[in-house]
Amino acid sequence: MPRTATLQRKTNETDIRVRLNLDGHGISRVATGIRFLDHMLDLVARHGAFDLTLGAKGDLDVDQHHIVEDTGIALGEAVLKALGTKRGILRAGYFLMPMDETLAAAAVDFGGRPYCVCEARVAAKRVGDFQTELTEDFFQGFAQAARANVHLRVLYGRSSHHRIEAVFKAFARALRFAVSRDRRLRRVLPSTKGLL
pLDDT at residue 160 in the model: 97
Continuous H helices in the chain: 35-48, 65-83, 134-146, 160-179
Structure-derived torsion over alpha carbons of residues 52, 164, 63, 42, reported in degrees to the nearest 10: -20
First-to-last CA distance in the chain? 20
pLDDT at residue 191 in the model: 81
pLDDT in tens, 101-129: 999 999 999 999 999 999 998 999 999 99
CB contact set of 82 (below 8 Å; sequence gap of 6+): 3, 4, 5, 20, 21, 22, 179
pLDDT in tens, 156-172: 999 999 999 999 999 99
Residues of the chain predicted below pLDDT 70: none
**Residue closest to 169 by CA, chosen among 144, 192, 152:** 152
Model pTM score: 0.96
Q: How far is CA 1 from each of CA 11, 21, 85, 94, 186, rounded to the nearest angstrom?
A: 31, 11, 12, 25, 12
